[in-house]
Structure 1
């Protein structure tokens, strides 16, 4: 028994001796990995409540010099990415599918934030919140009277596809039953409602909350009962960026994850960030945060469903589910 115990002790000591250099190497591995920074990365994002947290990513990036550039819309950010003015872009799943449909090479590398859509309807229309049957009946009455029922969104953003999908779910054909109005800049949505240029609009936060706060329209629904669900933002890049600067892409994603976790845990910081970037009132920023869901994950099955829905809606020419 004494021999067995002494042999066991010897084996333990030998194991510790063998493990020691491995543990030191493991401890040093992250330091070695960051010893040489990656090539700089320019990240582009749109000026919406969802996107404002990305303005914080440069200060939370390690191992890469990260620049965050704001654009008016996700379309502008995507154009900059495809023209190689930036390296990584925050877009929507809709932008992603549209780019694939047009044959552009883009790769999703992270989620960012979901939600942020509201359907708003003119104050004087006799439809209650959530009454899709009542809305459909009103639209059919407009159609019978030969009047266009005008619905608006910013074509190319997530709210556009959320609206189209929700209409499809509730038996409203956006190509035949209503007249679609494209208002490219979401900040112009409030004035379009005030001027009576549209009957219904699907807007993005924080502009949707702003519209309600100034009583330019009334709340109708959150358009999440469709294939896209609440999925909104997606971080994409080009294959050549991944090939030439994989560490830079990795460190950018790590910074996005850090910021997402902070936004989820610290709503006051989220509110302050929105207010700082957009210049909107704190009350509006706080209202917007209640409709936003930080999430850096990507959802393949849902993304494929979005691609199929966009094809069904004739938003794109081909079904790019396989490419997704």
Structure 2
């Protein structure tokens, strides 16, 4: 199968970024061989990753540092280089990287599902899929949101790159500003950015699109990954971190007010707005294998990656740590029979 221009751009970007970080990472970090010392974990300030953000200070006997990044791709590169030991990132980012290189980490817990949200600019007249033809639509290229937009349009006879003008921006904040200014007609984002746009009066939900946004793709979005060498050399520390993460997920499932109050400590915002956004989100730590299997196949079918990496992606699902933390079996957590 020949690589599409999009696949080539994605592969070249990942390789270039990986080379940069690999050249600057110190040898101890790259090897991950230390059995003591600090642990660096990565995240992007997304509301669905709130439990992951508040995990570090709850880990018993291990000093864990939370390191912010702008995107899942940045976390992927940092994990690959060894500059961090664990991180939350999209399954689609790993599926794409596996088409051309190894990913030296395993997913040890789930982090989000059903998290993409479509919004139209107020007054744009967008009420359904057919109204997207000829419009400027924004997302972060390579993100789960981008894939859901791409597949959703394809399911309805539209090509994102031919029938609309795709606008790729670096961050969800940039997308909100573009929608507010009228630079784009619609976007696909995640919380709390969606509620910020709606409450700000410039973004409106489109139920007919939202209800079918995952058609032809996958609902699962992201997981918590740990480097293989970190798992091998410090498995007890990995377990402590996953235990604390699971406890945070359980806490937030029972108290979303606490989730909102804690999140604004890591990402500035109005707790009332954050609390409203949480009406659309629940903590997620499972790893639905059937959903994960759809990720790479979807990307390959659309020409976003040159080959289907499903087997390699599924091989990186490690249920041992979250099973021990939750007291559930791997099958109860989503592992296929």
> TM class, shorter-chain normalised?
0.7 to 0.9
- Tell whether the 8 Å contact from 1:40 to 1:248 is kept in structure 2 after alignment: no
Alignment pair present for 1:151 and 2:137:
yes
- Tell whether the 8 Å contact from 2:195 to 2:276 is kept in structure 1 after alignment: yes
1:225-279 Cα deviation digits (max 9, x unpaired)? 3355431221112222222222222222111111111111111011112222221
- Tell whether the 8 Å contact from 2:155 to 2:216 is kept in structure 1 after alignment: no
- Higher mean C-alpha displacement, 98-107 vs 297-306: 98-107
CA distance in 2, matches of 1:167, 1:256: 36
Alignment pair present for 1:86 and 2:75:
no
SS at match of 1:294: coil
SS at match of 1:156: coil
Alignment pair present for 1:286 and 2:286:
no
SS at match of 2:48: coil
CA distance in 2, matches of 1:50, 1:73: 14
The one of 61, 71, 74 equivalent to 1:73 is 71
CA distance in 1, matches of 2:47, 2:160: 27
127 and 234 in structure 1: CA distance in 2 versus 1, 3 angstrom threshold: same
In structure 2, the partner of 1:191 is 177
- Higher mean C-alpha displacement, 257-266 vs 63-72: 63-72
CA distance in 2, matches of 1:168, 1:204: 21
The one of 284, 290, 307 equivalent to 1:301 is 290
In structure 2, the partner of 1:168 is 154
TM-score (norm 2): 0.76
The alpha-carbon deviation at position 217 of structure 1 amounts to: 2.1
1:96-111 map, 5 Å:
96-105=94-103, 106-111=105-110
The alpha-carbon deviation at position 113 of structure 1 amounts to: 2.7
CA distance in 1, matches of 2:223, 2:217: 13
TM-score (norm 1): 0.79
- Tell whether the 8 Å contact from 2:37 to 2:63 is kept in structure 1 after alignment: yes
CA distance in 2, matches of 1:160, 1:269: 30
In structure 1, the partner of 2:45 is 47
SS at match of 1:101: coil
In structure 2, the partner of 1:21 is none
- Tell whether the 8 Å contact from 2:218 to 2:294 is kept in structure 1 after alignment: no
SS at match of 1:298: coil
- Higher mean C-alpha displacement, 223-232 vs 238-247: 223-232
SS at match of 2:220: coil
The one of 236, 243, 255 equivalent to 2:232 is 243
- Tell whether the 8 Å contact from 1:112 to 1:256 is kept in structure 2 after alignment: no
1:2-61 Cα deviation digits (max 9, x unpaired)? xxxxxxxxxxxxxxxxxxxxxxxxxxxxxxxxxxx9654221111111123222112321
- Higher mean C-alpha displacement, 115-124 vs 85-94: 115-124
- Tell whether the 8 Å contact from 1:115 to 1:291 is kept in structure 2 after alignment: no
CA distance in 1, matches of 2:250, 2:97: 29
SS at match of 2:126: coil
- Tell whether the 8 Å contact from 2:121 to 2:185 is kept in structure 1 after alignment: yes
In structure 1, the partner of 2:126 is 127
Gaps spanning 5+ residues in structure 2: where? 1-34, 314-337
SS at match of 2:160: coil
In structure 1, the partner of 2:28 is none
- Tell whether the 8 Å contact from 2:218 to 2:292 is kept in structure 1 after alignment: no
In structure 1, the partner of 2:324 is none
The alpha-carbon deviation at position 63 of structure 1 amounts to: 4.5
Q: What is the count of residue pairs matched by the alignment?
A: 275
- Tell whether the 8 Å contact from 1:47 to 1:73 is kept in structure 2 after alignment: no
274 and 230 in structure 1: CA distance in 2 versus 1, 3 angstrom threshold: farther
